[in-house]
Amino acid sequence: MRLIFTLPLLTLAACQVTTDDKNDQMTIQYNEDVAENGIADVANTAEDLAGKVSNDVEQTADKVQDKTQNLDVDVDVDTDGNKAN
């Protein structure tokens, strides 16, 4: 979710600003290739993070399953009312 907030910054990074002090002019150009590369990097990072989270969840599930299979329960149900006479 936080990666979505980086998209406006990538858009700004794709802007190239040049100034001409002699003519007192400023030129702003949008470089589409830089923007596409930045967005592709964000998408790759998001995919990588999703894969890592998925692997962690799977490993945790395996650990929980291993612990529940090795569980022994011994219940003593004798009470004062169940004493043999």
17-54: pLDDT as tens digits: 788 888 888 887 877 887 788 778 878 888 888 888 88
Q: Tell me which long-range contacts 13-18 makes (C-beta under 8 A, separation of at least 24).
A: 13/38, 14/38
**How does residue 69 score in pLDDT terms, banded at 50, 70 and 90?**
low
Within a domain: 77: no
Asked if residue 56 belongs to a domain, the reply is yes
Number of structural domains in the chain: 1
Q: Is 72 inside a domain boundary?
A: no
What is the extent of the structural domain holding 53? 2-64
pTM for the predicted model, two decimal places: 0.46
The reply to whether 79 falls in a domain is no
pLDDT value of position 12: 67
Q: What pLDDT is stored for residue 61 in this prediction?
A: 81
Q: Output the average pLDDT for the chain.
A: 76
